[in-house]
Chains A and B, each alone.
Chain A
Amino acid sequence: MKISFNINGSAQTVDVDEKTPLLWVVRDLLDLKGTKFGCGKAACGACTLHVDGESVRSCSFPVKYAAGKDITTIEGLSSGDALHAVQQAWKEEIVPQCGYCQPGFMMATAAMLDKIPNPTDEDIDNNIVNICRCGTYYRMRKAIHRAAEIKNTNS
């Protein structure tokens, strides 16, 4: 089945079984490898991307629901060479260790900051519910607050 959507600002049409999880369309058909497979059951958040600005766990999101929507992956989070506030903050705080779960966390954070520009620690606890095995949560929390600061200064 042919399904069309915008991804990272470009129009795309894919011909694929409509039940295929968006994750595999993004990773294997469109070769955008920044969105990660972790569990396949929307339990870890490694595959988080944005569909019309909303945080979505793409391993459990059939591609048919993406039809006509705007999709953003980690590759499209920055604009050109300028990193997104979240990526800048992640660099400042040197958050990643193995780095595998980080795109999912950064995407979840970027979506949260659009809704909650100045998140409290409690907001962070309630909204950032991905899993990081290296245990970078401590630095991530600092980076999230810092990202809010950068974003508010820029806007």
Chain B
Amino acid sequence: MSASKSKKKGLRRRKFLKYSGIGLGLIIGGGYLSRHMWRRSIFEIAESAIVPYNGNLSPNIWFQITPANEIILHSSKVEMGQGTFTGLAQLAAEELEVEVEKIKVVHADTASGNIDGMSTGGSLSIATLWQPVREMAATMREMLKQKAAEKLGVGIADLKVENGVISAGGNALTYGEVVEGVTDWEFPDTPKLKEAKDFKYIGKPVARVDLHDKVVGAPMFGIDVEVPDMLHASVVRPEKIDAKLKSVDSSKAASMPGVIKIVEEKDFVGVIAETHVQAENARNALKVEWEINKSWDLAEVRAMTKVGNGKLTVIQKEGDAKSILDDAEEEGSVVKLEFNTPIGAHAQIEPNGATALVKDGKATVWLSTQVPLITLNEVSDRLGMDKENVNIIPKFLGGGFGRRLHTPNAVQAALMSKAIGRPVKCFFDRKQEFQNDTFRPPTHHIVRGKLDANGNIEAIGHDFSSGDVAFNSALMPPIAGTILGADIGAIRGGAIQYRSIPNIRAESWHVDLPFATSWWRSLGLLANTFAIESSIDELAIKAQKNPVDFRLSHIEDNEAGKRLRNVIKTCAEKAGYTDEVVNGRAMGFAASTDAGSPCAQVVEVSVVDNQIKVHKVTAVLDCGIAVNPDQVRAQVEGCIIMGISASMFEQMDLKDNKLFPVIYGPYQMAMMRDAPKEIDVVLIEGADFAGPVGEPPLGPIGAAIGNAVRRITGKRLTDLPMSLA
């Protein structure tokens, strides 16, 4: 729906500018600025909502065609594995009439002006750029045709455009030949875009544009940056939560091999040395004292994260669920389940870090970031430099998952470079990553449901408590809490999608925890869906109904309901769902709708010696048009495996203010042996636009596993990570 709104805006306030050395630069301005995320109602966001692309500064370079016939797409969205670069290349190729592999996609640096106003996240990259990129490419194609017609001395109608070549009769010009020498471009109205039936590249499973580089180990990631004359640094980070840097004795470290300078700032201390190992050794020799505000352990955090504690926002209210459920609870006719999910780490394999060069009034920072604009603002603010003098150069991310929506490491590297006048590279070690993550918050849920005389759900309530997800993030204005009430991240997946239930209530409780929690792929979806979909299954069992039919009978008759129903039905059919246990294996079913994309999953599970094993997953996703079906499948597979990892293995502990484990292994994650040997992904095109993909499939998996285990063992698992022991 929002996609169709942005459609009408087109390329307003558009202009082409000439850049020295650039054949053609395309500029789009404020046409997509129309609606800010935080002006939208909570309900809309909880529901779905594709937020229009919010590029914020102009001029900004999106495309570049050089006289050497290179077509370069400067992406304001970063590539962190989700395949966005490939999708964008396909969108551009479609309207530019050029093969996908001819388009080189690069990260736009902030100096290019093409700066994403939001972030790369929320499964929104392709969804929000679906329209603008095609419009820009189509406009460019028409501009190229105009100049080609002049150069070839023919009418525009006589031109043929194919594979990046414009021809008429026996004469042909490549795009590079067309742009050669042109300084004055005319700007046509936004052309009519191709219809889906005419797509050549969109909807095709083309190989990732970064595939070769990633298979040969090319130096493409933030940590791979090399700058001449570069030094290495290591920063002290707190091992404990709720701790403040009190004092540092650097006398021993200062005289260690390779150490060049120790930089003390108000909020951190860093050692600069010739090599990375020398910098780390010296950092470990610093005697650091911390001021601990209060002592903490996990039990306290769990006690805080309870429904009924903190700030309440009602996010969904239909009928009078509360009094019906209260009465039912009193008379003992309610199904009531309580769930807990743990603190989760991002655990992306490339550690956070940055390389900075601050010299002669200019600053350049290379890093893996999901928020180039915030990184830019933070560096320019802290260094007291104008934004024009700061350039943030995003690199390929060795995993994002929300972790790189926070980049204070950029400021630290910049300050250290400024102190020494040479480039400095600095990144976290693994222990620092685990101790200083912006974690997935722990959650607590109470789900209550009441059946009517026919075994249908008469009332359902989902009350849940969570720490920050969106709140206290630089992505949100500080007053977000006041405007929105609920944390828009924590409530993802928290509303009940079975809207024909007459009485529904969902309550979000927000609690301030003593350590940073924030965006973790799919936000509240993983925990909320685990609670809700486990409870729906329990209600189906009580009603003695097939859980698939039971779900279908509670779906509203509207567009969203139609898509959800289709996904559920298709998944059950494809998997051959049965609620019987066959040869020790049971199936578990669950479904969720996130950001407008419904997803259903059936898992096949066995339990041997209390060990849960997931053998097969059938997943059906309706994301509308799948720009690259292969990469959409890859995202579904990745979400399933990350979801298995989070549901079955991962958890952080807290004792004496120390978060732990601090290393892979003890922080158990899914490995090769834990990944299902069969994953069957079915994509349904239930909408005429490219909808969100990267997070929605993380919803169902936890509950689906729990529902299968319930069929085998009779035991309802209510805590993550799951344990039968």
Interface on A for B, CB 8 Å cutoff? Answer: 17, 20-21, 24, 28, 31, 33-41, 43-44, 46, 73-75, 78, 83, 87, 90-91, 94, 96-103, 106, 121, 124-126, 128-141
Indicate which residue in B81, B232, B676 contacts A98 across the interface (CB closer than 8 Å). B81
Chain A CB within 10 Å — which of B210, B631, B641 has the most?
B641
A34 near B671: Cβ-Cβ < 8 Å: no
On chain B, the residues within 8 Å of A78 by CB distance are: 216
Please judge, given known A-B contacts A37-B351, A44-B349, A101-B349, whether A135 and B641 are in contact too, CB under 8 Å: yes
Min CB distance B235 to A, Å, is 15
On chain B, the residues within 8 Å of A44 by CB distance are: 349, 664
Min CB distance A61 to B, Å, is 13
B664 near A103: Cβ-Cβ < 8 Å: no
Indicate which residue in B83, B232, B642 contacts A133 across the interface (CB closer than 8 Å). B642
Bound form: Cα–Cα A18–B210 in Å: 36
Min CB distance A44 to B, Å, is 5
Give the segment of B311-319, B322-330, B391-399 that binds chain A. B391-399
Indicate which residue in A101, A133, A135 contacts B637 across the interface (CB closer than 8 Å). A135
Bound form: Cα–Cα A103–B223 in Å: 15
Chain B, Cβ-Cβ closest to A132: B349
Bound form: Cα–Cα A27–B327 in Å: 66
Of the A-B pairs whose beta carbons lie under 8 Å apart in the complex, a sample of 8, sorted by A's number, is A17-B277, A31-B226, A37-B351, A38-B349, A91-B212, A98-B349, A100-B349, A138-B677
On chain B, the residues within 8 Å of A126 by CB distance are: 673
B215 near A135: Cβ-Cβ < 8 Å: no
B672 near A136: Cβ-Cβ < 8 Å: no
On chain B, the residues within 8 Å of A20 by CB distance are: 275, 277
Q: Which of B310-362 contact A (CB under 8 A)?
A: 346-351
Chain B CB within 10 Å — which of A36, A124, A138, A140 has the most?
A138
Chain A CB within 10 Å — which of B232, B645, B671 has the most?
B671
A40 near B349: Cβ-Cβ < 8 Å: no
On chain B, the residues within 8 Å of A21 by CB distance are: 277
Chain B, Cβ-Cβ closest to A92: B207
Instruction: Please count the residue pairs between chain A and chain B whose beta carbons lie under 8 angstroms apart in the complex.
Output: 170
B216 near A74: Cβ-Cβ < 8 Å: yes
On chain B, the residues within 8 Å of A138 by CB distance are: 637, 641, 675-677, 679
Bound form: Cα–Cα A21–B676 in Å: 35
Q: Which of B197-212 contact A (CB under 8 A)?
A: 207-208, 210-212
Q: Does B157 contact A (CB under 8 A)?
A: no
Across chains A and B, which 10 residue pairs bring their CB atoms closest together, nearest first?
Answer: A34-B217, A135-B641, A100-B398, A98-B81, A99-B214, A97-B81, A74-B217, A137-B675, A33-B219, A125-B673
Chain B CB within 10 Å — which of A90, A131, A136 has the most?
A131
Bound form: Cα–Cα A17–B208 in Å: 41
**Chain B 391-416 near chain A by CB (<8 Å), digits 1 or 0:** 00000111111000000000000000
Q: Does B693 contact A (CB under 8 A)?
A: no
Indicate which residue in B276, B634, B639 contacts A139 across the interface (CB closer than 8 Å). B634
**Chain B 663-680 near chain A by CB (<8 Å), digits 1 or 0:** 111000111111111010
Indicate which residue in A46, A131, A132, A135 contacts B639 across the interface (CB closer than 8 Å). A135
On chain A, the residues within 8 Å of B224 by CB distance are: 33
On chain B, the residues within 8 Å of A75 by CB distance are: 216-217
A91 near B215: Cβ-Cβ < 8 Å: yes
Q: Does B579 contact A (CB under 8 A)?
A: no
Bound form: Cα–Cα A135–B399 in Å: 11
Bound form: Cα–Cα A114–B220 in Å: 29
B214 near A102: Cβ-Cβ < 8 Å: yes
Chain A, Cβ-Cβ closest to B678: A138
Given contacts A87-B216, A99-B398, 17 further A-B contacts (CB under 8 A): A24-B276, A28-B275, A34-B216, A34-B218, A37-B351, A37-B427, A94-B631, A98-B81, A98-B350, A99-B210, A101-B349, A101-B398, A102-B215, A126-B673, A131-B664, A136-B641, A137-B675
Chain A CB within 10 Å — which of B210, B277, B397, B642 has the most?
B277
Please judge, given known A-B contacts A40-B430, A74-B217, whether A91 and B645 are in contact too, CB under 8 Å: no
Q: Which of B610-652 contact A (CB under 8 A)?
A: 630-631, 634, 637-642, 645
**Chain B 258-284 near chain A by CB (<8 Å), digits 1 or 0:** 000000000000000001110000000
Please judge, given known A-B contacts A37-B223, A90-B215, A103-B217, whether A97 and B638 are in contact too, CB under 8 Å: yes
B350 near A137: Cβ-Cβ < 8 Å: no
Bound form: Cα–Cα A31–B219 in Å: 9
Q: Does B556 contact A (CB under 8 A)?
A: no
Bound form: Cα–Cα A7–B299 in Å: 52
Please judge, given known A-B contacts A91-B212, A125-B672, A131-B349, whether A99 and B276 are in contact too, CB under 8 Å: no
Please judge, given known A-B contacts A17-B277, A31-B226, A133-B348, whether A121 and B216 are in contact too, CB under 8 Å: no
Q: Does B242 contact A (CB under 8 A)?
A: no
B430 near A38: Cβ-Cβ < 8 Å: yes
Min CB distance B681 to A, Å, is 10
Please judge, given known A-B contacts A39-B430, A46-B349, A100-B349, whether A91 and B207 are in contact too, CB under 8 Å: yes
Chain B, Cβ-Cβ closest to A90: B215
Chain A CB within 10 Å — which of B218, B221, B349, B679 has the most?
B349
B208 near A141: Cβ-Cβ < 8 Å: no
Q: Does B82 contact A (CB under 8 A)?
A: yes
Indicate which residue in A33, A38, A94, A99 contacts B207 across the interface (CB closer than 8 Å). A94
On chain B, the residues within 8 Å of A139 by CB distance are: 634, 637
Chain A, Cβ-Cβ closest to B639: A135
Min CB distance A58 to B, Å, is 13
B81 near A87: Cβ-Cβ < 8 Å: no
On chain A, the residues within 8 Å of B401 by CB distance are: 133
B664 near A43: Cβ-Cβ < 8 Å: yes
Bound form: Cα–Cα A128–B673 in Å: 9
Q: Does B80 contact A (CB under 8 A)?
A: yes
Indicate which residue in A96, A131, A135 contacts B211 across the interface (CB closer than 8 Å). A96
Q: Does B458 contact A (CB under 8 A)?
A: no
Indicate which residue in B217, B348, B400, B640 contacts A35 across the interface (CB closer than 8 Å). B217
On chain B, the residues within 8 Å of A39 by CB distance are: 430, 663-664
Chain B CB within 10 Å — which of A39, A139, A141 has the most?
A39
Q: Does B429 contact A (CB under 8 A)?
A: yes
Bound form: Cα–Cα A71–B329 in Å: 68
Bound form: Cα–Cα A131–B666 in Å: 13
Min CB distance A131 to B, Å, is 5
Please judge, given known A-B contacts A34-B219, A73-B217, A100-B349, whether A94 and B669 are in contact too, CB under 8 Å: no
Chain A CB within 10 Å — which of B215, B275, B430, B663 has the most?
B215
Bound form: Cα–Cα A130–B669 in Å: 11
Bound form: Cα–Cα A24–B400 in Å: 24
B214 near A121: Cβ-Cβ < 8 Å: no
B399 near A98: Cβ-Cβ < 8 Å: yes
Bound form: Cα–Cα A126–B349 in Å: 21
Chain B CB within 10 Å — which of A28, A75, A140 has the most?
A28
Min CB distance B50 to A, Å, is 23
On chain A, the residues within 8 Å of B400 by CB distance are: 98
Chain B CB within 10 Å — which of A24, A90, A135, A141 has the most?
A135
On chain A, the residues within 8 Å of B208 by CB distance are: 94, 96
On chain A, the residues within 8 Å of B672 by CB distance are: 124-125, 128-130, 137, 140-141
Min CB distance A151 to B, Å, is 16
On chain B, the residues within 8 Å of A36 by CB distance are: 221, 223, 349-350, 398
